[in-house]
Structure 1
Amino acid sequence: MEKTDLTTEHSDLWQLGQRGSIVLDTPLVMGILNATPDSFHDGRSDFDDTTRLVESGLAMVRQGAQIIDVGGESTRPGADRIDPAEQCRRTTELIRQLSARSSCLISIDTTHASVAEAALEAGAAIVNDVSAGTEDPALLALVAERGCGLILMHRRVPPVQDVYSDEYSTDPDFGAHGVVSSVGATLTGHLAAAREVGVAAQQILLDPGLGFGKSVRQNLELIRGIPELQTALGRPLLIGASRKSFIGSILGDRPPSDRLFGSLAVAVLAAESGAAVIRTHDVGPTIDSLQVAEAIRRLSPASGGTIT
């Protein structure tokens, strides 16, 4: 994979509009807050209870989350689409209350410009678009105008057309070029499209889309290929593996409720490989795992002595 020509002098800087910019010199943890009844792991009967959702978000902040990712539409394979008006109803007041009670960064997980605009007005600083701007081109124009953060993800088809990732056979393009190169090429195109409408490179993070239309092996190859992807793309990566089906497959077809430890393994490996943001359902355990791994990495070699 050739290195993109879209790199900037400060490739680890993330511009977030009115929230300023942050240097991504240590991995950030993004907590998932779904205002949905049908998400694959944390779909909830109280998805309409804004007060309880706000408390769930604040609990993640207390555990150390630097970003809360709010979504009003499930992106699990086979999920039904939710119209923008209903997404706004589910998320806008939630974001407004979270923003009023915490200085934590908030992202809106949507593919619709109208939902993103309402979220930004309510206090969000980041738009997380799993379609990478392909479903609603107005979303990219909105991000360019607002100067907020943007996350662009790789996928092949919308979730409603998807099936569980461990049921996918090898894509012909992936087979010919390798999944890391193919995903990198697609993300390079998405990055270029965003730049063409005025989004600055430093506003953008990229997500290889683990679990979206990829086999178990392809997901593992992408995790192993994080350094190659990040170097080629010239922008930091977000990795979202939390409790996904490829982890369950590796562990003997375990359900989402039994995939925590496998998810933590991916989080640590991704962070060690240079991922800038780890997206997770389990903020506390993820932060603990990353802190211990970082302490080991930073340990200065002992002078003399032996290990017993």
Structure 2
Amino acid sequence: MQWRIGPDRACGLDRCRIMGILNVTVDSFSDGGLYAEVDQAIGRAVAMVAEGADIIDVGGESTRPGAEPVDASEQIRRVVPVIEGIVRRLEVPVSIDTTSAAVAEAAIEVGASIINDVSAGGDDPRMFDLAADRRVGLILMHRRCRPSEDSWSDAYDTAPEYGDVCEDVRSFLLDRARCAVERGVRPEAIVLDPGLGFGKTVGQNARLIGAAGRFVGSGYPVLCGASRKSFIGAVTGQSNPGDRVAGSVAIAVWQAMCGVRLFRVHDVLPHVEALAVVDRSRTMADSAKSAVRQLFESVHDAGTMVDLQ
């Protein structure tokens, strides 16, 4: 499977791909303020690519629970010089994390080739038209409400209500993908993100993680965005987001074994190493299955019985 991320560009999904998170914000939940300066941000991108990141995801607006909106002009001021610098120095694709078509367009003008929209096109009706016109990759994420109205996964006074959280999220994403295609977005440009940590309790996130195969079976590539999130801390007891690396990697490994191929992460190297093992193990397992299948086919063709002991 390939993910089309430009008129003449594709990202092969024969192995796991790492999207390194680069927040050029002052209030992101894990790294807000660390890369607010252009040189710092570009340096961080260079470091993540050196560790094995396949894509850099640049965002100028925090999506943590309680975060206030940032207007398009300020987002553009934050992200455009960073994307320009990354594109000049590195050859990896750049994604723009925004719900604003104006911000996405400004980012595409300076080299971004993927739109990562946590509102799945809900915040700005122009987003699908832009993605179709510019033929870029498009990530559609599920959420229940805007970040300013949301809560941490382990801190809801009243749990978000779903019929079946897995089916509800899956149906929502497939409907948004259908809408995008109707507006001219190529199906092969679309990726689905179940939105772990967005409008879900700890238990609801766990059910979504366990149901990864249902999303993979949709026919669209799936992105896992669990990195350092509060529901991991609720399970491991780690209140500091930076101490949730092991839990983040554990989820990524499980998701990869279920067929997920895209991972949006803060900690690139641990994910690269763990997922390389998954990729290699899967390749070896596929080779073994192929060998057994060929054996049985040859036996069937010969019309003989073989003692497999």
- TM-score, L = length of structure 1: 0.89
Q: Is the 8 A contact 1:18 1:125 kept in 2?
A: no
Q: Residue by residue, what CA displacement relative to the aligned partner does 1:142-198 show, whole Å, maximum 9, x if unpaired?
A: 0010110000000010101101122234433x2x3x111010111111111111111
Q: What pairs up with 1:1-308 in 2 under 5 angstroms? A: 12-44=1-33, 46-47=35-36, 49-168=37-156, 169-172=158-161, 174=162, 176=163, 178-231=164-217, 233-299=218-284
Distance 1:45 1:179 in 2: 35
Q: For 1:39-94, what per-residue CA distance to the aligned partner results, in whole angstroms no more than 9, with x for missing partners?
A: 000112550x1011101001101111000000000000000110000000000010
Conserved in 2, the CA contact under 8 Å of 1:111 and 1:131? yes
Aligned counterparts of 1:170 and 1:50: Cα–Cα separation in 2: 39
Q: 1:67-123 deviations in whole A, cap 9, x for unaligned?
A: 000000000000011000000000001001100111001000000011000100111
RMSD, matched Cα: 1.5
Change (3 A) 1:119 1:13: same
Aligned to 2:301: none
Summarize the Cα distance change of 1:28–1:45 in structure 2 as closer, same or farther, 3 Å threshold: closer
- SS class of match (1:131): coil
Measure the CA separation in 2 of the matches of 1:92 and 1:249.
36
Contact (CA 8 Å) 2:23, 2:35: kept in 1 or not?
no
Query: 1:239–1:201: structure 2 CA closer, same or farther, 3 Å change rule?
Result: same
Distance, in Å, in 2 between the alignment partners of 1:23 and 1:258 is 31
Checking the alignment, whether the CA contact within 8 Å between 2:98 and 2:115 is kept in structure 1 is: yes
1:164 alignment partner AA = W
Give secondary structure in 2 for the equivalent of 1:241: coil
**Structure 1 residue 299 displacement after superposition:** 4.0
The alpha carbon displacement at 1:30 in A equals 0.3
Q: Which runs of 5+ in 2 are unaligned?
A: 289-309
Looking at structure 1, the residues matched to 76 and 202 of structure 2 have their Cα atoms a distance apart, in angstroms, of 34
Residue identity opposite 2:25 in structure 1: T
Q: Check the 8 A contact 1:19/1:125 in 2, yes or no.
A: no
The 1-side partners of 2:8 and 2:263 are apart by 20
Q: Which moved more, 1:53-62 or 1:251-260?
A: 251-260
Q: How many residues align?
A: 286
CA deviation vs aligned residue, 1:1-29 (integer Å, no higher than 9, x gap) = xxxxxxxxxxx321112452233111100
CA distance in 2 between counterparts of 1:247 and 1:73 reads 23
Report if the CA contact (8 A) 2:256-2:278 is conserved.
no
Offset, 1:296: 3.5
* Structure 2 CA distance for partners of 1:46 and 1:185, relative to 1, 3 Å: closer
Q: Which has the higher contact order (CA 8 A, sep 6+)?
A: 1
**Cα shift readout 1:276-300 (whole Å, capped 9, x = no counterpart):** 2000000011101111233344446
What is the percentage of aligned positions where both structures have the same residue? 46
**Runs of 4+ displaced beyond 2 Å:** 167-172, 292-301
Match of 1:305 in 2: none
Q: What is the CA–CA distance in structure 2 between the aligned matches of 1:58 and 1:18, rounded to whole Å? A: 25
Structure 2 length-normalised TM: 0.89
Distance 1:296 1:203, change over 3 A: closer
User: Amino acid of the residue matched to residue 52 of structure 1?
Assistant: Q
Contact kept, 8 Å, 2:96 with 2:107, in 1: the verdict is yes
